[in-house]
Amino acid sequence: MSLLSYIPFAIFAFFGALAVGSALLMIWQRNPMHSVLYLAFTVLAIAGVFFTLQADFVGAIQIVIYAGGVVVLYVFVIIIVNLGDLKAETRKWFPRLFLWSVPGLLVLELAALVFLHPLPPPSTAPADLGLPQLSVQLLSTYLIPFEVASLLLLAAMVGAILVARKKVTHDSH
């Protein structure tokens, strides 16, 4: 096996390490504005992971919707909420024990389930993961879920506007 064949895995490992490191920093930061910047970094690194996994369209969607839409929404909300003084987040040792051991044990269980059982063998046929294949499948096999998702997004938009608007009472003017 030549050295060149390790290059995709090296790029994958680079972006994966970036994603994990910035994710850890994200939940570590006290200031939410710093957290949101690390979230943007994590999302872009995961987009790089998607590109190395030959998922070009999902990576582009990740950059456009997550980095361009959701992260900007987070920044706006932090500006609106105007956090002011940051309170220290402290807990007693007993709840802290649970809050760290539950995810840790879950990860151990997941890793045991995934790695102790053999996966089905990979397909031998040449992979066709291009955008034409993806779009045909999205708009034929998964057409009804696609339309339902558009309805869901519309409902979420209307609901968000209704919930977040200022209540106007009649005796205020």
Torsion angle, alpha carbons of 136, 141, 143, 144, to 10: -170
We find the least distance from the C-beta atom of residue 10 to another protein, in angstroms, to be 10
Closer to another protein at the Cβ: 81 or 171?
81
Nearest to 29 by CA among 15, 43, 39: 39
DSSP string, 20-38: HHHHHHHHH-SSHHHHHHH
- Residue 77 engages another protein in binding (rule: CB under 8 A): yes
Q: What is the DSSP letter of 123?
A: P
We find the least distance from the C-beta atom of residue 173 to another protein, in angstroms, to be 19
Report d(CA 88, CA 25) in Å as an integer: 17
Length reported for the chain: 173
Of 79, 97, 129, 147, the one binding another protein (CB under 8 A) is 129
We find the least distance from the C-beta atom of residue 137 to another protein, in angstroms, to be 5
Of 68, 79, 97, 99, the one binding another protein (CB under 8 A) is 99
Residues 33, 79 contacting (CB under 8 angstroms):
no
- Residue 7 engages another protein in binding (rule: CB under 8 A): no
Of 19, 44, 48, 67, the one binding another protein (CB under 8 A) is 19
- Residue 143 engages another protein in binding (rule: CB under 8 A): no
Of 3, 27, 144, 168, the one binding another protein (CB under 8 A) is 27
